[in-house]
């Protein structure tokens, strides 16, 4: 499908420019930095817990509910601002904010200090991916989007590896406060690079809609909620993220309590495996989405997601660190395998000026709803089973939290089945040339 770009029509299969690939690499670095700042506290759960005298429930509140609520509350309004304003400037400002607040968390003296710093990180990070996805959609033609979003999605596993490994090593040789302070600095430096080198591109809009004003936030939300496949994908991601967020928060603590390993060793081994798994899953999902079609990619993703739950439970009961890591690998690969196709579907369904809000709504489910539930409930179950020795209470809490993974696989299949039954992707959001309020149907590969 042809789209307008700077007054010219660009084909869907036009090759991206070198600068577009630079933008993709820069946004990958931004995403990696955000996940360093977001996930690094997970390897520091045990030292933070003992230093500040916190319970597992309070840890779940800081890393889950408090972070998620403010991430979700800020995400959609800021994404709507990004759909209307200069995304490059908004991203640079947000990046500087979350880097600085991560460093500030190293000075926390109690639960409320640390919680406030993490709330600030959450609010500023909420606009990062919506801005980035919107920019990538305008720099890359539709035939490359699943792959470039998959490339962008490598940021989380890279950030998890760097955050856990560096955070664990710095804590082991120094302390958790210095770890948080030092790992917030790269975000501040990268914000300067984004400000001076990232150019705001022209919006890709249909030729007949080129002169229309940006839609209101409420219109973008309504457009999202009218698409059944997006609702199924939202539910699938909420359910899967409920389980995966609990695992990410408490896996390092489980390893320490069960296998007695120090933070440095856990950060390198667990972090490396989670990073490799996420990278493999993201690239596989992106290649599937662009080569065999988004529908088939969702079906493959549903199968992998469904298999990851029993593999994780087996690893939890194995009493073997390598086998537990196999379970972590299965879940981590599954999380990122579905990301590229899912966000490519969102960008195919919604108009350009709704891309950021569409991404934010999806992330509201993942980082708002799911992270509010998963870590908090898992921490509460662990505290309730505190009479069990070693890591047994936390093990059973993680087993319970793995159940939603199977349910999420069903919603991925329902999304794919809906697309099969209808045979097309259609958007009710963008007006067609004849003014009837419906865009023409677009074939789903």
Q: Is the pLDDT of residue 411 over 60?
A: yes
d(CA 358, CA 336): 18
Of the pLDDT bands very low, low, confident and very high (cuts 50, 70, 90), residue 292 is: low
For 346-370, the pLDDT digits (tens) are 777 777 667 677 777 877 777 778 8
H helix or E strand, kind and range, residue 424: strand 424-425
pLDDT in the model for residue 241: 87
Which domains are assigned to the chain?
A: 16-205+214-430 (1.20.1250.20)
Q: Taking Cα atoms as reference points, which of 280, 28, 292, 285 lies closest to residue 147? A: 285
Render the burial of 238-257: b for 16+ CB within 10 Å, e for the rest.
bbbbbbbbbbbbbbbbbbbb
Give the residue carrying structure tokens 């009479």: 387
- The whole-angstrom distance between residue 281's C-alpha and the CA centroid of its chain comes to 13
For 307-331, the pLDDT digits (tens) are 989 999 999 998 889 999 999 899 8
Mean predicted confidence (pLDDT) in 216-231: 79
pLDDT in the model for residue 88: 86
d(CA 373, CA 378): 8
Q: Taking Cα atoms as reference points, which of 108, 102, 91 lies closest to residue 67? A: 102
Q: What are phi and psi of 176, to 5 degrees?
A: -70, -30
Are 207 and 332 in contact, with CB atoms under 8 Å apart?
A: no
Render the burial of 158-168: b for 16+ CB within 10 Å, e for the rest.
bbbbbbbbbbb
d(CA 346, CA 333): 21
Mean predicted confidence (pLDDT) in 13-25: 81
Enter the tokens of residue 237.
Answer: 């991601």
More confident residue, 205 or 147: 147
d(CA 351, CA 299): 25
pLDDT in the model for residue 323: 92
pLDDT in the model for residue 213: 58
Q: Cα separations (Å) of 191 from 3, 91, 428?
A: 31, 8, 37
Mean pLDDT, the chain, whole residue set: 78
Angle at 340 between CA 335 and CA 346, to 5 degrees: 115
Mean predicted confidence (pLDDT) in 216-233: 80
Q: What are phi and psi of 4, to 5 degrees?
A: -85, 135
Are 80 and 383 in contact, with CB atoms under 8 Å apart?
A: no
Q: Decide the pairing of beta strands 8-10 and 3-5.
A: antiparallel
Are 196 and 68 in contact, with CB atoms under 8 Å apart?
A: no
Are 154 and 282 in contact, with CB atoms under 8 Å apart?
A: yes
């Amino acid at each position: 499908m042809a789209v307008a770009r700077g007054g010219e029509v660009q084909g869907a299969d036009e090759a991206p420019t070198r600068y577009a690939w630079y933008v993709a690499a820069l946004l990958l670095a931004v995403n990696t930095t955000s996940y360093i700042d977001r996930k690094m506290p997970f390897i520091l759960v045990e030292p933070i817990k003992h230093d500040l005298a916190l319970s597992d429930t309070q840890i779940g509140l800081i890393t889950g509910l408090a972070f998620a609520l403010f991430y979700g509350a800020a995400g959609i309004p800021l994404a709507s601002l990004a759909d209307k304003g200069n995304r490059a400037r908004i991203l640079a400002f947000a990046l500087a904010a979350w880097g600085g607040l991560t460093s500030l968390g190293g000075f926390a003296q109690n639960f409320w200090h640390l919680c406030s710093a993490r709330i600030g990180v959450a609010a500023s990070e909420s606009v990062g991916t919506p801005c980035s996805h919107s920019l990538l959609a305008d720099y890359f033609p539709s035939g490359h989007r699943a792959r470039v979003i998959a490339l962008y999605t490598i940021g989380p596993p890279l950030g998890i590896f760097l955050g856990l490994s560096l955070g664990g090593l710095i804590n082991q040789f120094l302390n958790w406060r210095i770890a948080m302070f030092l790992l917030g600095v790269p975000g501040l430096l990268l914000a300067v690079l984004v400000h001076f080198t990232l150019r705001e591109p022209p919006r890709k809009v249909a030729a007949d809609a080129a002169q229309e004003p940006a839609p209101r936030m409420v219109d973008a939300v309504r457009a999202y909620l009218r698409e059944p496949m997006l609702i199924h994908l939202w539910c699938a991601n909420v359910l899967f993220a409920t389980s995966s967020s609990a695992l990410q928060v408490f896996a390092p603590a489980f390893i320490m309590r069960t296998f007695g390993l120090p933070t440095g060793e856990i950060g390198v081994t667990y972090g490396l495996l989670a990073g490799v798994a996420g990278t493999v899953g993201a690239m596989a999902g992106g290649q599937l989405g662009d080569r065999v079609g988004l529908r088939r990619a969702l079906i493959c993703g549903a199968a992998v997601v469904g298999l990851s739950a029993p593999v994780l439970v087996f690893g939890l009961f194995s009493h073997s660190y390598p086998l537990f890591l196999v379970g972590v690998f299965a879940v981590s690969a599954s999380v990122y395998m579905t990301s590229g196709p899912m966000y490519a579907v969102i960008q195919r369904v919604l108009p350009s000026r709704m891309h950021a809000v569409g991404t934010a709504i999806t992330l509201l489910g993942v980082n708002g709803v799911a992270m509010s539930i998963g870590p908090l409930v898992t921490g509460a179950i662990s505290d309730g089973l505190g009479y069990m020795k070693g890591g047994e209470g936390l093990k059973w809490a993680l087993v319970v939290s793995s159940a939603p993974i199977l349910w999420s696989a069903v919603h991925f299949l329902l999304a794919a089945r809906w697309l099969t039954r209808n045979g097309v992707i259609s958007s009710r959001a963008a007006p067609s040339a004849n003014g009837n309020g419906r865009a023409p149907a677009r074939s789903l590969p």
